[in-house]
């Protein structure tokens, strides 16, 4: 399932952003332009399928700190600089909205403030959700809708609408609570696919990094987001996955080197044979950049590719000479999984442009608000409260 459109509204500097994305999409832009915020917004969206959306948002400080801090809208005078930016009388409710759509599914969620009698005023509430088929929400293709505590589902066969039983609490999503093989089959399918979305940000490589410790060896088709199961993930690729691709990618970055996994069931360790050395180097002895490249290889060559993989600045701590191999690795991986990549490394970007078809989105800030440069904002419809 390819996701073709992403939409975020009211989250930090992303006041109102709709983007078209492709098989391999690069998000770039100056410091502070909103790249990491977009990454986090996507992660929040994915957390809906894990039942953690409201808890994660609360952990970021609740709506008061994550909401767009500017005015509800800019007047023409404010945009032209003739008038200072100032708050206006609110016409709509406070709202943070996240959504995605692809050829087969679209989903969006709208969060707002609890009513004033609620004991925990910082806790955001889910006010509305919608799920539809195809790219844009409309009357005809809507098939699951939530308003407040009530969920309505449309039967795929008869097209009839009915209420799902019971009421949802304000912090539960219909994606987790109404997904049911008998009557919420589409929700269930979408939830399972969203649960596979993977996010890699800041894979640790310091001296105490989980990836440098001996690890229990079990079948590991997906690298953990902290890289703590690197040895098992590499052993899995070597045993049942794209062994040759892994070897090629290591050779591409470190000519003449070989990666291996040593040890028994309970203490597997990654080692690397390097030309000129009499013994392989233990994972503890590898440089930060080398280890990071191994982590990225294990993540990207996963034997169970997810629908979508999102990477935030994977180039951090890599020597420039590794950026061309990393670009090739990304292009290779994007044949099997959709990739959204946040990066501001010119060399990596040049490598990607050279090696494959990429969609480039350049973010910039205008009056504190993130906008996509040189791109018309695609159409998007939010669910109604």
Residues that bind ligand ATP (CB under 6 A): 12-13, 29, 31-37, 67-70, 344, 368
Q: Which residues contact 15 (CB under 8 A, 6 or more apart)?
A: 9, 68, 70, 369, 370
Write down the least CB distance from residue 307 to ligand ATP, Å.
24
Sketch the per residue contact string, 25 through 54, with Mg ion: x for CB under 5 A, - otherwise.
-----------x------------------
- In whole angstroms, give the CA distance from residue 346 to residue 313: 12
Find how far residue 95's CA is from the centre of its chain. Answer: 21
Smaller CB separation from ligand ATP, 113 or 230: 113
Tell me whether residue 114 is exposed, middle or buried, using C-beta atoms within 10 angstroms of its C-beta: 0 to 12, 13 to 18, 19 or more. middle
Write down the least CB distance from residue 12 to ligand ATP, Å.
4
**13 close to 106: Cβ distance less than 8 angstroms:** no
Smaller CB separation from Mg ion, 23 or 36: 36
Smaller CB separation from ligand ATP, 90 or 304: 90
Smaller CB separation from Mg ion, 41 or 230: 41
Write down the least CB distance from residue 296 to ligand ATP, Å.
18
Nearest 10 degrees: CA dihedral of 304, 306, 311, 314? Answer: 20
Give 92-130 as a 3 state SS string: CCCCEEEEEEECCCEEEEEEECCCCCCCCCCCCEEEEEE
Strands (E), 119-228: 125-132, 142-147, 150-154, 161-163, 198-201
Residue 290 interface partner, choices Mg ion, ligand ATP, none, CB cut-off 5-8 Å depending on type: none
Residue 383 interface partner, choices Mg ion, ligand ATP, none, CB cut-off 5-8 Å depending on type: none
202 binds Mg ion (CB under 5 A): no
Q: Which three-class secondary structure state does DSSP give residue 19?
A: strand
Residue 29 interface partner, choices Mg ion, ligand ATP, none, CB cut-off 5-8 Å depending on type: ligand ATP
Smaller CB separation from ligand ATP, 29 or 228: 29
Residues at the site binding Mg ion, with contacts judged by CB under 5 A: 36
């Amino acid at each position: 399932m390819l996701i073709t459109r992403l939409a975020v509204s009211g989250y930090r500097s992303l006041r109102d952003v709709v983007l078209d994305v492709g098989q391999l999409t690069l998000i770039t832009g100056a410091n502070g332009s909103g790249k990491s915020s977009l990454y986090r917004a996507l992660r929040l969206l994915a957390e809906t399928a894990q039942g953690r959306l409201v808890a994660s948002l609360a952990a970021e400080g609740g709506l008061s700190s994550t909401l767009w801090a500017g005015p509800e809208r800019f007047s023409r005078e404010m945009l032209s600089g003739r008038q200072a930016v100032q708050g206006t009388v609110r016409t709509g409710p406070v709202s943070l909205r996240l959504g995605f759509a692809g050829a087969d599914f679209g989903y969006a969620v709208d969060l707002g403030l609890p009513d004033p009698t609620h004991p925990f005023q910082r806790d955001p509430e889910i006010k509305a959700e919608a799920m539809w088929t195809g790219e844009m929400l409309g009357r005809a293709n809507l098939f699951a809708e939530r308003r407040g505590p009530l969920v309505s589902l449309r039967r795929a066969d008869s097209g009839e609408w009915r209420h799902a039983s019971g009421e949802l609490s304000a912090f539960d999503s219909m994606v987790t609570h109404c997904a049911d093989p008998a009557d919420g089959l589409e929700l269930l399918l979408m939830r399972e696919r969203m649960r596979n979305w993977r996010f890699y940000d800041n894979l640790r490589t310091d001296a105490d990094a989980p990836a440098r410790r001996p690890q229990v060896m079990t079948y590991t088709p997906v690298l953990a987001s902290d890289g703590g199961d690197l040895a098992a993930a590499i052993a899995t690729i070597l045993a049942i996955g794209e062994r040759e691709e892994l070897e090629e990618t290591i050779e591409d970055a470190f000519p003449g080197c070989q990666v291996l996994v040593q040890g028994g069931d309970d203490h597997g360790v990654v080692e690397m044979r390097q030309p000129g050395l009499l013994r392989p180097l233990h994972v503890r002895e590898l440089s930060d950049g080398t280890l990071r490249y191994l982590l990225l290889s294990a993540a990207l060559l996963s034997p169970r590719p997810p629908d979508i993989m999102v990477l935030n600045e994977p180039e951090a701590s890599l020597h420039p000479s590794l950026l061309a191999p990393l670009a090739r690795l990304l292009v290779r991986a994007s044949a099997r999984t959709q990739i959204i990549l946040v990066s501001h490394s010119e060399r990596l970007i040049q490598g990607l442009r050279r090696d494959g078809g990429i969609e480039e989105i350049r973010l910039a800030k205008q009056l504190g608000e993130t906008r996509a440069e040189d791109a018309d904002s695609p159409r998007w419809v939010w669910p109604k409260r």
